[in-house]
Chains A and B, each alone.
Chain A
Amino acid sequence: MCDTCGCNITPGNKHLVEADGKLAKTEDGKAAVDVLHSLLHENDHQALHNREHFARHKVLAINLMSSPGSGKTTLLEKTIQNLGDSIKIAVIEGDLETENDADRIRNQGAPAVQITTGSACHLDAHMVHDGLHQLDLTDVDILFIENVGNLVCPASFDLGHHLNVTLLSSTEGDDKPSKYPVMFRAADLMLITKSDLLQYLDDFDPKAAEANFRKLAKDNPVIELSAKTDDGFDNWISWLKDTLALHHEKLSNGETMRPAIQADGVELHAHQHSHSHAHSHDHIHDHIHNKA
């Protein structure tokens, strides 16, 4: 819808695109137009619409990112069991193929939509928008978007979600934050999963993983947990509950949460929308730091 309606031409940027606007001539006589848009302008625009859609339904949208096999779906299964009827969960699953993960979520009694990306290595805002059309968000409290397992591309795409949670399983290296800085810099929360295996894996040091995360100038919380043994799971559940409460508080003030790190374009874009929500860079870790 937003690709065609022309609403990306706003009072804020109109002067740049009008023929008699801020047009300079280059030395060789070409007309030069200063744009200053994100390279993902179209995606960011769709993300903004998705975010407004979530706000209408008061839904908190959390983007789960990690490498394949780090335990995203297992985390969700356990989270749904743990929360029961107290907090209603829905899930958008992203995979290249199969309905397997969506089936696992449905087996826990939560609604799930599977997006199969074919060969695409990430979800984008348009795919999530399509998924939302298949999902009734009435009464849903938290929407998890389980991104395609990949520590590279998903970090670049704003989906309209409010927070990024990045998983690092103990079977991976504790230097993953250093190897994939773009991904881990985007994390509002880092979960060290499969902590039950740490006793067997003497080459994974959770402290080293956290130190590598801090080196990315991240003061966000780190939670160690196991979805098998429930170790540390309470901390995750508390984080979710605190975050949901903060989300509702912000909504009632006409604000919306955004991921800690956002591409320049998202900011540029948001500022050009007079109808956009006032956005805040408040860091939710202030409320939950002790639990990490």
Chain B
Amino acid sequence: MHELAICQDIIAQVEQIAAQHRAVAVHRIQLDIGPLSGVEAPLLEAAFPIACAGSVAENAELKIEISPIVVSCRSCNEKTAASANDLTCKKCGNWHTDLVSGDEMILKRVELDT
């Protein structure tokens, strides 16, 4: 349960950005989260109100986009959808793959009331 710690990190970043833009409030915070990031979106959403209380982001909307798990096969070069505990190529079955998408945990965009 480290989602609160992550939320606090997000709020610290958002506060900095808001101050640099002399924003009076933060309207929306957009995140990209992948299932392999180790971060759970529902837990982030639960922790968010606690982390942002009293900050410039107090009334901000938290918008989380979940990235799909996609791997690229080193053998057949095909890009296929995969699951968290099976990153083998769905076309040829080879496990020598590279993750293309699915481990994101990114603060993508902040929308401010200036």
Residue positions of A touching B, CB distance < 8 A: 3, 17-19, 23, 26, 28, 30-43, 120-122, 124, 152-153, 155-157, 177-179, 181-182, 185, 212, 214-219, 261, 263-265, 268
Contacts and interface: CB of A to CB of B under 8 A. Distances in A.
Name B's interface SS: mixed
A59 B71 CA distance: 34
Given A17-B20, A39-B6, A30 B87 contact: no
A39 B87 contact: no
Contacts of B97: 217
Contacts of B95: 214-215, 217-218
Contacts, number: 130
A31 B111 contact: yes
Name A's interface SS: mixed
Q: Which of A33, A34, A37, A185 has the most CB of B within 10 A?
A: A33
B2 A35 contact: no
The 9 closest A-B pairs by CB, nearest first: A156-B38, A217-B87, A30-B111, A178-B85, A182-B38, A181-B85, A31-B112, A153-B2, A39-B105
A23 B114 CA distance: 12
A216 to B, nearest CB: 5
Given A153-B1, A181-B36, A214-B95, A32 B13 contact: no
Interface residues of B, number: 43
Contacts of B99: 217
A16 B10 CA distance: 16
A120 B96 CA distance: 35
Contact of B110 (A18, A33, A121, A177): A33
Given A31-B23, A153-B38, 15 more contacts: A36-B108, A39-B9, A39-B39, A39-B106, A40-B6, A42-B13, A43-B9, A121-B1, A124-B5, A156-B37, A178-B85, A214-B95, A215-B87, A217-B95, A217-B99
A231 to B, nearest CB: 27
B79 interface: no
A156 B39 contact: yes
Interface of B: 1-2, 5-6, 9-10, 12-13, 17, 20-23, 27-28, 31, 36-39, 71, 84-88, 95-99, 103-114
Contacts of B106: 36-39, 264-265, 268
B2 A156 contact: yes
11 contacts: A42-B13, A120-B2, A156-B2, A178-B85, A181-B36, A182-B36, A215-B85, A217-B98, A218-B95, A264-B103, A265-B106
Given A41-B9, A263-B37, A35 B21 contact: no
Contacts of A177: 85
Q: Which of A42, A120, A268 has the most CB of B within 10 A?
A: A42
Contacts of A181: 36, 84-85
Given A39-B39, A41-B9, A181-B36, A33 B17 contact: yes
B85 A216 contact: yes
